[in-house]
């Protein structure tokens, strides 16, 4: 079953979410976290740089905190707000949030689903970030040629009697 993603009324791509049975036929349980391969449209590809990058921006912000001698786990809210407003990493995180707030998910019948959270992942970013952070290496060279480029992750917010709202 194909779900579509829209930004300000323009189709940006689609995905097929699988249920726990893997057949896509059962109704989606309440509060379920869904993930799938994101297949962007041409317009969606132009928007992806503003939808992806949250992990890199968060790593940049953490480095900024560390360089200022701040413990990333104990930053006062006013200091964090200042960093979001005054650093490139903070600005990037805010921009991703702004763009994501205009993305809607529609079910195969075209009904709009309300989500609690949504994120897009560029697998090339994951490779780059893993190398930068010195973590276990993730290499796109090891993936098959037909491996996906992008993933989308969504958590649905609520279920009503007539479906997701």
Predicted pLDDT of residue 20: 42
Answer yes or no: is pLDDT of 162 > 60: no
Which whole-number Å values give the CA distances from 116 to 59, 61, 95, 158, in the listed order? 23, 24, 18, 8
pTM, 2 dp: 0.78
Cα dihedral 140, 49, 118, 89 in deg (nearest 10): 100
Closest CA to 5 of 104, 149, 122: 104
End-to-end CA separation in angstroms for the chain: 19
Regarding predicted confidence, which is higher, 1 or 9? 9
In the predicted model, is pLDDT for residue 23 greater than 80?
A: no
Name the residue with tokens 């009503």. 160
Residues 88-111, mean pLDDT to the nearest whole number:
94
Q: Domain range spanning residue 62? A: 2-164
Split into its structural domains, the chain has a count of: 1
């Amino acid at each position: 079953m194909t779900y579509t993603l829209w930004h300000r009324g323009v189709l940006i791509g689609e995905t097929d979410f699988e249920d726990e049975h893997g057949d896509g036929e059962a109704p989606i349980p309440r509060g379920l976290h869904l993930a799938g391969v994101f297949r962007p449209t041409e317009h969606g590809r132009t928007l992806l740089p503003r939808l992806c990058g949250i992990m890199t921006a968060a790593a940049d912000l953490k480095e900024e905190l560390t360089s200022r001698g701040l413990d990333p786990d104990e930053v006062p809210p006013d200091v964090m707000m200042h960093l979001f407003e005054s650093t490139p990493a903070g600005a990037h995180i805010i921009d991703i949030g702004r763009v994501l707030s205009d993305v809607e998910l529609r079910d195969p019948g075209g009904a709009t689903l309300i989500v609690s959270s949504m994120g897009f992942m560029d697998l090339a970013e994951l490779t780059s970030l893993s190398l930068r952070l010195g973590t276990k290496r993730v290499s796109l060279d090891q993936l098959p040629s037909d491996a996906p480029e992008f993933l989308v992750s969504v958590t649905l917010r609520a279920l009503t009697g007539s479906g997701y709202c």
